[in-house]
Amino acid sequence: MSYENTLTLRGLSHHIQHALGRALAANYWVRVEIHRLNVYGGTGHAYLELVEKENGRVVAKMSGTLWRDTYRMVSNQFQSVTGEPFRDGMQVLMQVQVRYHELYGLSLNVLQVDPNYSLGQMARMRLETISRLQQEGLFNNNRSLPLPETLTRIAVISGASSKGYKDFLHKVIDYTERYKLRIAITLFPALLDGQNAIDTIPRQMTAIEKQASDFDAICIIRGGGGEVGISAFDHYQLAAAVCSSTLPVFTGIGHATNETVTELVAHKNGITPTDVATFIGQHLLDAVGELELNIEKTFRFAQEQVFDAFQHLHNTSGNLEQVVKNKLLVERSELRELGMRVVVLPKRNIALAHQTLKTKTLQLEKLSERLLLAGQQQMANATHQISKHYQAKISMALQELQQMDDKVKLLDPLQVLKRGYSITRVEGKAVKSATALAIGTEIETELFEGTFTSKITEKNE
C-alpha cells in the first residue's frame, strides 16, 4: 500500500468542507425546537442544541451558533413580537448556514429567526389545550365548584419575593385590620415564568390537594413580569391541574392581553393580584354582614313572637272576665225583678216566694261558680297552648342563634391556633415578616395551649 495517496484528518475535513460548500445552498429556513440554549457571559455568543421530535421522541439533532450581535438582535425582536423570551422548549423557524469545522464538526450558523412562526405555534397550542380540555370534560370543572360561604384559609402559589405576592398580602392585611377579619395565608413557593411555571405550579397544586381540607381556595399569584413568559399558562399540563382541583382556584397573574387558558378555566380571574385579594376580602366581609343581619333578624322575630304571645294571653283573659261579669249582671237583674214580685204577692205566697228566692240564690251561686271554674279552666288551657306554641318557636329561634354562634366561633383565632397554627410576637406585637427580626431578638410564641419564649440565633431569608 502506498502512503503517498492517504489523507490527514485535517485534509479530510477540508474535503468535507469543500464538498458541502459545492452541494449546499447558501442558507436554509429550518423548523426546529430549541432543546437547550446556553449564552456565555464572557463573549455574548449563544450555543444551541436543536432537535426535531416525533411523538415525543428525538429523531434529529444538531448544534447551532448565534454570534453575539445576531443573538442580541434575534432575542430582542423575538420578545418584542411574541412577548416571550428566546428560550429552551421554543418551536422556531430560523434561517441557517450549514458549516463544518475540523475541530467542532457539523453545525448550523443561525442568521435570523422568524418570530411570527413561533407566535402561530403558541396560538395553536392555546387552541389545542382548550379543545383537549373540552373533549376530556375538564374545561368547566373548577368554575362549577360551589364557592365556600367564607374564604378564611387561602393557599397561595407564588414566588416568595414576587411583587404580585407582596401586593396581594398588603391588600389582605388591609382588609383584616380595617374590618377585623381573620384570613390565614399559606404560601406554596413556585416559579411562574415559562417552563418553570409548567413544572412547578402543577407540583404545588398536587401538594395542596393532599391537604385540601385545610383550605377554602387556591390563589395563583404572579406580578411584576408583564407579558413575558405568559404563554406557559396556555399549556395543557398547567391548565389541567387547575381544572382538576377540588378547591376553587383564583388567578391574578398580572397581564393585560387576552385571558390565558388557565385563567379561562379558573373559578375566578382577577387582572392583578390586588383584584384577587379584594375579591376574597369583600366575599368574607359580605358573609360577616349577612351573618350579623341574620342574627338581628332572629332576635327581632323572637321579640315579636313573645310580645304577640303575651298580648294574645292578655286579650283572652280580658274577654273571659267580661263574659263572667255580663252573666252576673243578668242574674242580678233577674233577682231584683223576683224581689219586686215577692213584695206584691199575697201573704199566702210569701213563704213560697222565700223558698223560690233561696232556690234562685243557690242556683245563681252554683252557676257563678261553674262559670268561674269554666272560665279559669279555659284561661288555663289557652295559657298552656299559647305557652307551648311559643316556647317551641322560641326554642327553634334559639337553635338558629346557636348555629350562627357556632359559625362565628369558627372565625375565632383560638380555632386557628387549635389547628396547629401559632402567633409570634415581639414586645407584644405580632410578627408579620422575618425581615424585621434581628439575631438575638427574644420572641414569644402563642400556641393553642400555652406560650413559650425563645431567642433568634439564626435567620434564613
Checking if the pLDDT of 209 tops 60, the result is yes
Chain-centroid distance, C-alpha 209: 14
Checking if the pLDDT of 194 tops 70, the result is yes
Better-predicted residue by pLDDT, 369 or 347: 369
Whole-model pTM? Answer: 0.56
Checking if the pLDDT of 343 tops 60, the result is no
Q: What CATH number was assigned to the domain covering residues 153-284?
A: 3.40.50.10550
Checking if the pLDDT of 225 tops 70, the result is no
User: What length is written for the chain?
Assistant: 461
CA distance 115 to 92: 7
pLDDT, residue 215, reads: 97
Q: Report the pLDDT averaged over residues 330-352.
A: 67
- Angle, CA 190 vertex, CA 264 and CA 421 arms, to 5°: 105
pLDDT, residue 154, reads: 97
Query: 405 is written with which cell numbers?
Result: 354562634
Query: What are 85-105's pLDDT values in tens digits?
Result: 888 888 899 999 999 988 889
Query: 264 is written with which cell numbers?
Result: 379561562
Query: What are 104-142's pLDDT values in tens digits?
Result: 899 999 999 999 998 888 889 899 999 999 999 999 999
Q: Report the pLDDT averaged over residues 44-52.
A: 95
The CATH architecture of the domain made up of 3-117 is Beta Barrel (2.40)
pLDDT, residue 349, reads: 66
CA distance 115 to 75: 10
Better-predicted residue by pLDDT, 393 or 299: 393
Better-predicted residue by pLDDT, 269 or 458: 269
Q: How confident is the model at residue 44 (pLDDT cuts 50, 70, 90)?
A: very high
Query: 452 is written with which cell numbers?
Result: 413559650
Q: Report the pLDDT averaged over residues 388-410.
A: 79
